[in-house]
Structure 1
Amino acid sequence: MSTLDLAAGASLRRDETLEVALLLAFAGGYLDAYTWMIHGVMANAQTANLVLLWVYGSVGNWAAALHFVPPILSFAIGVLVAAWLRHATGDRASVISTLIEILLLIAIEILHNRLPDLAGTLGISFVAAMPTAIFTKVEGVVYSSVMITGNMRQAIEGAFAAVVGGGPPGPLRRSGMFAALCVMFGVGAAVGAFATKSFPNLALGMPVIALLIVLLRCEVDRSEARA
């Protein structure tokens, strides 16, 4: 390993590691599957919600169209809160936002049978927005934990650069990294669909566990760095 590689590894933020990104991708796919099966909307994929809103609206079915408005607005509010956290807390934003996500998911899980569908959708879409605004990079490269379009493009471009030569350093690793994120998002969706169908009242426990690991990885390593 070169001196440059060692320096890069030493300066890598804990919330930008591949391990954290994979856990967030799993949770992102899981929550999309959960909200689609329970509420008929997407927690993360606001593109899908917007398309369906206008598809139904274009044929005059406004009751169905307006069903997709609350998660879009809730996601937007979540992004604003995450932006405020970054501004107010700096490097602590990743830990604080993850803790907020965990507490909200636990609350939604506990109150699921008492809350109307709208409240559950709003809460989960708010939760889903925070990682996409806080955890924006993996190993210094921009990625998304809540959708695969950009990640898939990066995986394909990295593979192409590895074959033809040129491009950014380590194109094959970068391609594998983004391909892994796409796969993990799909795994999360598959596990989320199975869990939601099999035990819907406990289904949110898995993304909570994934986020707890993220929280521990970020906080423990931060404590070690201070020591």
Structure 2
Amino acid sequence: MSTDTAAASSIRRDETVPIALLLAFAGGYLDAYTWIVHGVMANAQTANLVLLWVYGSIGDWTKALHFVPPILASAVGVVVATWLRRATRERASAISTLIEILLLVAIAVLHNRLPDLAGTLGISFVAAVQSAVFTRVEGVVYSSVTGNMRQAIEGVFAEVSGNGSLRPAGIFTTLCVTFGLGAAVGAFATKQIPNLALGIPVIALLIVLLRCEAPRDEASP
């Protein structure tokens, strides 16, 4: 067995590059969707926190409190994901992805009746679960729901300076592009097919689930 083959076979199925790219696409997509429909971020809770304080500082508490539900939903999602990792261990990625798929389908169904509750709380919860369960790509820490721009820049600098490998820089740069592509597709789909828009990230997550459950020789990059 070659060194590259051995290295590939040692990578956990939920840490492969294809899965990271699918999750980055879904992360960007859901951020665009929730921003356009609800005026909040599904993933970037720091942005929600900043906007909460900005509007609160000028006394516009109606707008400020609008950002509280997604922050709380995200916190609950992280707690649930942490418990899930402890309880199910290596099965956490597959189980959490299945939960995300079911919740997004339920959100899509409930959206017309309870738009704010289903969209703001549900999608922020889904995003938090994803970010807390999928934390590494090829053994390197990353975020499956943000652009990973800092890691991409550091990777490129390390490669240029001769102190790093080209592969990490390429992975993180591709993740940034994929996240942005997901946001662009999400914005377009939300405007053009609002009632079906959540179907696209569901498809991406279904592929993630299938890859997490695939035999080792099929899941390896």
For the aligned pair, the TM-score class normalised by the smaller chain equals: over 0.9
Give 2:171's aligned residue.
177
Distance 2:2 2:214 in 1: 27
- RMSD value, Cα: 1.6
User: Post-superposition shift, 1:116?
Assistant: 3.6
Task: Quote the offset at 1:221 in angstroms.
Answer: 2.6
Deviations 1:130-179 (A, max 9, x none): 1110000001100111112xx21221122122222124xxx211111000
Q: SS where residue 147 of structure 1 aligns? A: coil
Q: 2: CA distance between counterparts of 1:223 and 1:76? A: 36
* Whole-angstrom distance in 1 between the partners of 2:80 and 2:214: 24
TM superposition shift of 1:112: 1.1
Q: CA deviation at 1:190?
A: 0.3
Q: Give deviations 1:195-223, integer Å, cap 9, x for gaps.
A: 00001111000000000000000012369
Aligned partners of 1:49, 1:131: CA distance in 2, in Å?
A: 18
CA distance in 2 between partners of 1:223 and 1:184 (Å) = 25
- Per the normalisation by structure 1, the TM-score is 0.92
Aligned residue in 2 for 1:152: 149
Aligned to 2:35: 36
Partner in structure 1 of residue 92 of structure 2: 93
Partner secondary structure for residue 38 of structure 1: helix
The answer on whether the counterparts of 2:110 and 2:118 sit within 8 Å (CA) in structure 1 is: no
Shift of 1:2: 5.0
Mapping for residues 106-145 of structure 1, pairs under 5 Å = 106-145=105-144
- Other-structure match for 1:214: 208
Give the equivalent residue in structure 2 for 1:22.
21
- Which runs of 5 or more structure 2 residues have no equivalent in the other structure? none
The residue matched to 1:48 in structure 2 has which SS?
Answer: helix
Aligned residue for 2:190? 196
CA distance in 1, matches of 2:6, 2:115: 51
CA contact (8 A) 2:9 2:216 kept: no
Question: What count of residue pairs does the alignment treat as equivalent?
Answer: 219
Deviates more, 1:136-145 or 1:6-15: 6-15
Q: Measure how far apart 1:118 and its partner are.
A: 2.8
Which deviations, in whole Å up to 9, do the C-alpha atoms of 1:55-112 show, x marking residues without a partner? 0000001110000000000000001000000000010000000000000000111121
Output the TM-score relative to the length of structure 2. Answer: 0.95
How many Å separate the matches in 2 of 1:147 and 1:219? 25
Question: What is the SS of the residue equivalent to 2:112?
Answer: coil
Listed as ranges, the gaps of 5+ residues in structure 1 are none
Structure 2: distance between partners of 1:97 and 1:217: 14
Superposition misfits of 4+ residues, deviation over 3 angstroms: 222-225
Residue 29 of structure 1, CA deviation: 0.3
Matched, 1:82 2:76: no
**Which residue pairs with 1:165 in the alignment?**
162
